Amino acid sequence: MKCSDFLKELTDYLDGVIDTRTKAELEEHLQWCHNCYVVCNTTQRTIEIYRDHQLVELPDDLRTRLRTAIVSKCEKHKHDHPQATEEKKPGT
């Protein structure tokens, strides 16, 4: 296996959606190819560091404000289009 072939399979390997035979070939390649080992390891850590650090947070006050606005818009829509919701009631 060449390094370019390894890279092509990297996403499936990291996601654990790869057949046993390809997985064994990739892991055999990792045994002797230091560069691919480092790339694989640091790519895994890239995913983990983004997953573990919440970069965007929705503050409670903004959350409440947005929810109030959404509910009020939905109520208005329901009021303006009564048939649209009536017709979709389950069992009607």
Partner 1 sequence: MEAIESKVGEPTNDETRLVDAARGGDVGAFEQLVKRYDRNVFRIAQHITQNREDAEDVVQDAFLKAFQNLGQFQGQSKFYTWLVRIAVNEALMRLRRRRPERMVSIDEDVKTEDDSIPREIADWSPNPEQLYNQGELKEILQKTIQGLPESFRTVFILRDVEGLSTEETADALGLSVPAVKSRLLRARLQLRERLTKYFKRRNGDGQQ
Residues engaged in binding partner 1 (CB under 8 A): 7-8, 10-17, 35, 38-47, 49-51, 53-56, 58, 62-63, 66-67, 69-71, 73-75, 77-78, 84-90
Helix (H) or strand (E) holding 85: helix 82-86
Question: Least distance (Å) from partner 1 to the CB of residue 88?
Answer: 5
Nearer to partner 1, 12 or 25 (CB): 12
Question: Least distance (Å) from partner 1 to the CB of residue 58?
Answer: 4
Residue 9: closest CA among 67, 24, 81, 78: 24
Widest distance between CA atoms in the chain: 68
